[in-house]
Amino acid sequence: MDFRSRNKIEVGFSMASMTDLIFLLLIFFMLTSSFITPSGLTVSLPTTKEPVIIQQKVTVTISADLQYMVNDKPTTLANLKADLEPLLSGSPSAENLVVLHIDRTVPVEYLVNVADIATALKAKVSIATKPKE
């Protein structure tokens, strides 16, 4: 008499569905993460209660030691208008937006100088902030 079962049960575990799940989670987190472009200069931004996320095409950064950067390229205040003109001339006037990343210790007059140059080029000006914790 043969008492062994004729149906063999496999004890293996298929990882195919687990890898599919991991890839779906990876894609989900990549798409839902915020797209923030880090600046080349270390800037301590002011805080607000509710930050508004804006698509940043043209950014002007002023560090605490008054170094200027336009889209991560070093520049000076004298050359700022010449550096901004080609970046703002290619897009329609409704999309011209300059986002200012200015350190909180920088005096307001430097912010006003950059905002004046941007508005002379018919661009909207927005100030980058970080949320309060």
Residues 42, 48, 53, CA angle at the centre, nearest 5°? 75
Domain-located, residue 102: yes
Domain-located, residue 6: no
- Higher local confidence (pLDDT), 110 or 130: 110
- The CATH number covering residue 96 comes to 3.30.420.270
Domain-located, residue 92: yes
Domain-located, residue 18: no
Domain-located, residue 66: yes
Domain-located, residue 111: yes
SS3 label, residue 81: helix
Domain-located, residue 33: no
pLDDT tens digits for 59-111? 888 888 888 888 888 888 888 888 888 888 766 655 678 888 888 888 888 88
Do 103 and 64 touch, CB atoms closer than 8 A?
Answer: yes
14 pLDDT higher than 80: no
Indicate the number of domains in the chain: 1
Task: Give the residue from 133, 130, 118, 110 showing the smallest Cα distance to 47.
Answer: 130
SS3 label, residue 17: helix
**What is the domain range of residue 123?**
47-131
Domain-located, residue 28: no
pTM given for the model? 0.57
pLDDT tens digits for 105-122? 888 888 888 888 888 888
